[in-house]
Structure 1
Amino acid sequence: MSKPFDMELFLAAVLTGSFATRQRHLRQAKTIHAEIAERWQRETPWAWQRKHVSWFQEHRLDRHSRMTRYYYFLTVRLLVRRFQKTWVFNL
């Protein structure tokens, strides 16, 4: 039996800012993780590809407000920084 993935530990190296900002990023990263895991069966972010994150932004956030999409975009930038990838996403 494996342990559930610890998103807080995964993002600890790149999380900065106030307590509320860090908590928002963690909450949103866990949401992104849950959606990708359900749709693509990718249990850890290390298994994600650019298309998975792009799918989340285009299809799961399409009915959310522009401000919500922007905050998720900031969280995605943190995830990409943690992956040490050069992925670029548009708002």
Structure 2
Amino acid sequence: MSKPFDMELFLAGVLTGSHATRQRHVRQAKIIQAEIAERWQRETPWRWRRKHLAWFLEHRMSHRSEATQYYYLLTARLLAHRLEKSWILTF
């Protein structure tokens, strides 16, 4: 049995800001990870493609407030940065 993926450790190198901001990014990244894993069975960000994050932002965040969408967009961009991808993510 393998260990569960540690999103906090994955993001540790790119997280900046206050403790609350770092915790928000980790919490939101875990939510993104769970949604992508459920939809595409891709458990870790290393297996993601741009379409997975774009799907999450377009379909799972469409009913959320603009502020919530913005914060999740920031987290998705942080994930792309950590993956060293030049993905352009928007709504």
TM-score by length of 1: 0.98
Match for residue 45 of structure 2?
45
Cα deviation for residue 89 of structure 1 reads: 1.2
Task: Find the residue that maps to 1:87 and give its secondary structure.
Answer: coil
Match for residue 67 of structure 2?
67
Cα deviation for residue 90 of structure 1 reads: 1.5
Cα deviation for residue 29 of structure 1 reads: 0.2
Match for residue 32 of structure 1?
32
Q: State, as a whole percentage, how many aligned pairs show the same letter.
A: 69
Match for residue 10 of structure 1?
10
Task: Find the residue that maps to 2:89 and give its secondary structure.
Answer: coil
* Residue 69 (structure 2) pairs with residue 82 (structure 1): no
Task: Find the residue that maps to 1:3 and give its secondary structure.
Answer: coil
Distance 1:89 1:53 in 2: 8
Query: Number of matched residues?
Result: 91
The list of structure 1 runs, each at least 4 consecutive aligned residues, that deviate by more than 2 angstroms after superposition, is: none
> Which letter does structure 1 place at the counterpart of 2:58?
E
Distance 2:90 2:81 in 1: 16
For structure 2, the residue ranges without an aligned partner over 5 or more in a row are: none
Distance 1:63 1:2 in 2: 35
> Which letter does structure 2 place at the counterpart of 1:83?
L
Cα deviation for residue 79 of structure 1 reads: 0.3
